[in-house]
């Protein structure tokens, strides 16, 4: 097997400059990023692969496949006397019960077993505070770097994280320098005394320092995301290659789903093109980049491709056995009690994809509660993301995982009120099909009319401001929390992908947030509170004014004979059913639809176009 077996076919060799080939230096960079605790293999949804899926060869990645892929590539290159650098662009922490259970310990063990030349600090490396990152540093046998991370003397990581390392590879010095996203204080928990300097400012100051050490090959190993990598490349001279992470970006010159070519070339201020690479996330790919430097340390050519770690890559036997061993207590953990509930929490498809359901309220309340301090006021969760109910009594972690099995993360972003309405309209657009997009919410109240055409079903929407609900303002911008699946446009929520501003898609996992929330509200009392209400079909038959009936048609999808309004009787009560109109109720009760206002007056004048199904009306006597 040759090292760049996919690259040979897939990658375009890009000549960046011409020059003497006499002293060319070739460097092969093997890289991963954002593994996010996918120690076990994953399925096509990036969540833990089941035995059944494994049997059908439908699993990807997992740390044992990463081990095989890096071992094979490194051996082939080393045998060919080629130079190799193995890098991790950060975010090993957080994402599965392996992290919840073993924290940095399992990460360090497997990474030491693979052997890395350097790792960038990712924002999630701070998820358990700088203390856990410090423990990780105690265990690893390779440098963990981050130049713009400034840690005060009284923090556990003070003076422990260098900005860059210089490696001697094949007789040449190669520097690896690292930067981290400056909003890590908002997306993780670096704690007091840890700050993040602007990446560009830091790099502009440190690159000349590195060059002054006689190093002319500088690799930026970043954890700032694909967009910011391009900005950095365009702003800073002296960086030869950027190996990135954080945005979970698949770059490929052959895959249509890729966000850009592998490598993506961006001109620096001096006009030199800088290759940028990233290799998706979750252990699914190994990035393989070959860079050729000229004698002056300028990149002449860069080529490669991400290697998909599918079933063709056999998991390393020793690693696989260790993963299994570490996984056994996790099976125990799934049995562990996290809370108790006073009643069944209903997560069934029949309810959660059609109306407010208690599981929808729990999950939406939990995700909103987790991020409300970040200025987030609205939660929207797809009903189809809720995969099970939880029965009354003790709640185990396994039950929570059964409800939320996808290892989705919280996604926060800003959205205009008018786009919030568009999102709700999308959520209601396939209600008749029981589609998973139905919007369960928190911080928000809405009513809808399913008889209307898709796209115009929202009747009213209110947001919670302080302790009261006020009408949603289409022009105002709101902080929204959802999950990363919906934020990427899943279930038709393309408005989240296209209109969401200042998005952060990689918050804590949904199932962990919900487990924490249940534990904090023990015993949990499942409830609905009418935040989502279906209104009786507003119909053209509803009189615009007393005594004027414009049409005799009944509500769409309903006929007067089917409508419950036909049973309304003067002097009695009537419970509003789907299709009811005040006109029809008055007609049934009094034999005269024009008397509808009498019923309206007796019931606090409900809006004729927004009758809540299930509401009881008293029908005055004749
Ligand atoms: Zn990240």
What is the tens place of the pLDDT at every residue in 32-42? Answer: 999 999 999 99
- Predicted TM-score (pTM) of the model is 0.73
**What was the pLDDT predicted at 588?**
82
Cα–Cα dist 572/566, whole Å: 13
Order of strands, sheet of 458-465, starting from the edge strand that comes earlier in the sequence: 468-471, 458-465, 444-448, 532-534
Q: What is the CATH number of the domain that holds 459?
A: 3.90.780.10
Say yes or no to pLDDT of 550 above 90.
no
Cα–Cα dist 199/208, whole Å: 15
Distance 335 CA to ligand 1 centre (A): 30
Cα–Cα dist 457/439, whole Å: 13
- Retrieve residue 399's tokens: 């039950």
Cα–Cα dist 416/180, whole Å: 29
Cis omega (within 30 of 0) on the bond before 271? no
Question: Are 614 and 525 members of one domain?
Answer: no
Cα–Cα dist 43/59, whole Å: 5
Distance 223 CA to ligand 1 centre (A): 6
Distance 439 CA to ligand 1 centre (A): 27
Distance 596 CA to ligand 1 centre (A): 59
3-state secondary structure of 539: coil
Question: Are 296 and 417 members of one domain?
Answer: no
Distance 19 CA to ligand 1 centre (A): 38
Query: For the chain, what percentages of helix, strand and coil (3-state, to nearest 5) are there?
Result: 30, 25, 40
Mean pLDDT value across residues 216-236 = 97
Distance 133 CA to ligand 1 centre (A): 15
Distance 432 CA to ligand 1 centre (A): 38
Going from the C-alpha of 13 to that of each of 24, 263, 275, 412, the distances in angstroms are 16, 10, 12, 39
Question: Are 131 and 220 members of one domain?
Answer: yes
Distance 409 CA to ligand 1 centre (A): 12
Question: Are 190 and 45 members of one domain?
Answer: yes
Distance 245 CA to ligand 1 centre (A): 7
Q: What is the pLDDT of residues 56-68, one digit of tens each?
A: 999 999 999 999 9
**What was the pLDDT predicted at 325?**
97
- Among candidate residues 534, 558, 589, the one where a domain is terminated: 534
Distance 453 CA to ligand 1 centre (A): 41
The tally of domains found in the chain comes to 3
Question: Are 298 and 344 members of one domain?
Answer: no
Distance 240 CA to ligand 1 centre (A): 22
Distance 502 CA to ligand 1 centre (A): 14
Q: What is the CATH number of the domain that holds 557?
A: 3.10.350.10
Determine how β-strand 393-396 pairs with β-strand 337-341. Answer: antiparallel
Mean pLDDT value across residues 372-377 = 94
Q: What is the pLDDT of residues 265-316, one digit of tens each?
A: 999 999 999 999 999 999 999 999 999 999 999 999 999 999 999 999 999 9
* Percent over 70 (pLDDT), the chain: 91
Per-residue pLDDT band for 370 (boundaries 50, 70, 90) equals: very high
Distance 123 CA to ligand 1 centre (A): 5
> Residue 573's beta-bridge partner residues?
618
3-state secondary structure of 413: strand
Distance 122 CA to ligand 1 centre (A): 5
Domain of residue 606, residue span: 535-622
Distance 617 CA to ligand 1 centre (A): 54
Distance 124 CA to ligand 1 centre (A): 6
Q: What is the CATH number of the domain that holds 57?
A: 3.60.21.10
Rounded mean pLDDT of the chain?
89
- Retrieve residue 605's tokens: 């004048």
Question: Are 62 and 182 members of one domain?
Answer: yes
Distance 121 CA to ligand 1 centre (A): 9
Distance 372 CA to ligand 1 centre (A): 21
- Retrieve residue 196's tokens: 């993040």
Distance 280 CA to ligand 1 centre (A): 12
Say yes or no to pLDDT of 521 above 70.
yes
Q: What is the pLDDT of residues 416-431, one digit of tens each?
A: 999 999 999 999 999 9
Cα–Cα dist 273/234, whole Å: 9
Order of strands, sheet of 273-277, starting from the edge strand that comes earlier in the sequence: 164-169, 172-180, 218-223, 241-243, 273-277, 264-267
- Among candidate residues 283, 300, 328, the one where a domain is terminated: 328
Distance 468 CA to ligand 1 centre (A): 36
Cα–Cα dist 11/3, whole Å: 13
Say yes or no to pLDDT of 384 above 80.
yes
Question: Are 481 and 470 members of one domain?
Answer: yes
**What was the pLDDT predicted at 537?**
64
Quick one: DSSP state of residue 157? T
Distance 182 CA to ligand 1 centre (A): 11
Backbone angles phi, psi at 567, to 5 degrees: -95, -5
Q: Tell me the longest C-alpha to C-alpha distance in the chain.
A: 104
Determine how β-strand 83-88 pairs with β-strand 118-120. Answer: parallel
Helices (H), 431-493: 484-487
Distance 71 CA to ligand 1 centre (A): 25
* C-beta contacts of 256-264 below 8 A and 24+ residues apart: 259/226, 260/226, 261/12, 262/11, 262/287, 262/289, 262/304, 262/305, 262/306, 263/14, 263/289, 263/302, 263/303, 263/304, 264/226, 264/230
Mean pLDDT value across residues 337-360 = 94
Distance 509 CA to ligand 1 centre (A): 13
Distance 36 CA to ligand 1 centre (A): 9
Distance 15 CA to ligand 1 centre (A): 31
Distance 257 CA to ligand 1 centre (A): 21
Distance 34 CA to ligand 1 centre (A): 7
Question: Are 291 and 352 members of one domain?
Answer: no
Question: Are 198 and 107 members of one domain?
Answer: yes
Phi-psi region of 130 (alpha: psi -120 to 50; beta: other; left: phi over 0): alpha
Cα–Cα dist 53/61, whole Å: 13
Show Cβ contacts of residue 602 under 8 Å, excluding neighbours closer than 6 positions.
617, 618, 619, 620
Question: Are 186 and 283 members of one domain?
Answer: yes
**What was the pLDDT predicted at 447?**
97
Distance 91 CA to ligand 1 centre (A): 5
Distance 501 CA to ligand 1 centre (A): 17
- Among candidate residues 306, 328, 350, the one where a domain is terminated: 328
| Nearest alpha-carbon partner for 599 in 578, 579, 577, 572 | 572
Question: Are 176 and 220 members of one domain?
Answer: yes
Torsion sign, CA atoms 603, 605, 608, 610 = negative
Distance 106 CA to ligand 1 centre (A): 19
Question: Are 294 and 211 members of one domain?
Answer: yes
Distance 250 CA to ligand 1 centre (A): 14
Going from the C-alpha of 255 to that of each of 251, 260, 262, 306, the distances in angstroms are 8, 9, 10, 10
Distance 225 CA to ligand 1 centre (A): 8
Cβ atoms < 10 Å from Cβ of 553: 12
């Amino acid at each position: 097997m040759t090292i760049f077996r996919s690259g040979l076919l897939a990658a375009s060799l890009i000549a960046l400059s011409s020059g003497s080939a006499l002293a060319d230096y070739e460097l092969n960079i093997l890289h991963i990023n954002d593994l996010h605790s996918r120690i076990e293999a994953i399925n096509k949804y990036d969540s833990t692969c089941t035995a059944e899926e494994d049997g059908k060869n439908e699993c990807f990645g997992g740390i044992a496949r990463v081990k095989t892929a890096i071992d094979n590539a490194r051996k082939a290159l080393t045998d060919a006397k080629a130079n190799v650098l193995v890098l991790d662009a950060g975010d090993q922490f957080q994402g599965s019960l392996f992290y919840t259970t073993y924290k940095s310990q399992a990460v360090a063990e497997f990474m030491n077993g693979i052997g890395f030349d350097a790792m960038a600090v990712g924002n999630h490396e701070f998820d358990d505070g700088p203390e856990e990152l410090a423990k990780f540093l105690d265990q690893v046998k390779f440098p963990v770097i981050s130049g713009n991370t400034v840690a005060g003397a009284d923090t556990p990581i003070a003076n422990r994280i260098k900005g860059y390392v210089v490696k001697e590879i094949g007789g040449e010095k190669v520097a690896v320098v690292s930067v981290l996203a400056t909003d890590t204080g908002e997306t993780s928990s670096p704690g007091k005394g840890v700050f993040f300097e602007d990446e560009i400012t830091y790099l502009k100051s440190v690159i000349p320092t590195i060059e002054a050490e006689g190093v002319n090959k500088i690799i930026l190993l970043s954890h700032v995301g694909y967009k910011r990598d391009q900005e950095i490349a365009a702003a800073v001279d002296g960086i030869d290659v950027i190996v990135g992470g954080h945005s979970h970006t698949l770059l490929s010159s052959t895959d249509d789903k890729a966000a850009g070519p592998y490598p993506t070339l961006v001109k620096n201020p001096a006009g030199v093109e800088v290759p940028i690479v990233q290799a998706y996330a979750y252990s699914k790919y190994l990035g393989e980049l070959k860079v050729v430097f000229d004698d002056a340390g300028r990149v002449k050519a860069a080529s490669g491709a991400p290697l998909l770690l599918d079933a063709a890559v056999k998991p390393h036997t020793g690693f696989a056995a260790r993963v299994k061993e570490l996984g056994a207590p996790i099976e125990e953990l799934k049995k562990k009690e996290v809370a108790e509930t006073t009643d069944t929490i209903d997560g069934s498809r029949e309810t959660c994809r059609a109306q407010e359901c208690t599981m929808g309220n729990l999950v939406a309340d939990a995700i909103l509660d987790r991020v409300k301090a970040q200025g987030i006021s609205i939660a929207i969760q797809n009903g189809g993301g809720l995969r099970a109910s939880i029965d009354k009594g003790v709640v185990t972690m396994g039950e929570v995982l059964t409800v939320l099995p996808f290892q989705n993360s919280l996604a926060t972003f800003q959205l205009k009120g008018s786009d919030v309405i568009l999102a709700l309209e999308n959520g209601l657009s396939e209600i008749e099909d029981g589609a998973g997009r139905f919007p369960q919410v928190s911080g928000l109240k809405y009513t809808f009319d399913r008889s209307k055409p898709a796209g115009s079903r929202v009747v009213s929407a209110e947001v919670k401001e302080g302790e009261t609900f006020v009408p949603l303002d289409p022009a105002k911008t709101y902080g929204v929390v959802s999950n990363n699946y919906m934020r990427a446009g899943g279930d038709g929520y393309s408005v989240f992908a296209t209109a969401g501003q200042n998005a952060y898609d990689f918050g804590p996992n949904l199932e962990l947030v919900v487990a924490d929330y249940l534990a904090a509200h023990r015993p949990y009392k499942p409830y609905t509170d009418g935040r989502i209400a279906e209104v009786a079909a507003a119909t053209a038959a509803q009189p615009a004014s007393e005594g004027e009936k414009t049409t005799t048609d009944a509500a769409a999808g309903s006929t007067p004979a089917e409508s419950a309004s036909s049973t309304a009787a003067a002097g009695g009560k009537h419970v509003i059913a789907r299709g009811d109109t005040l006109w029809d109720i008055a007609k049934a009760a009094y034999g005269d639809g024009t008397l509808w206002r009498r019923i309206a007056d007796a019931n606090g004048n409900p809006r004729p176009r927004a009758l809540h199904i299930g509401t009881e009306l008293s029908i005055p006597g004749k």
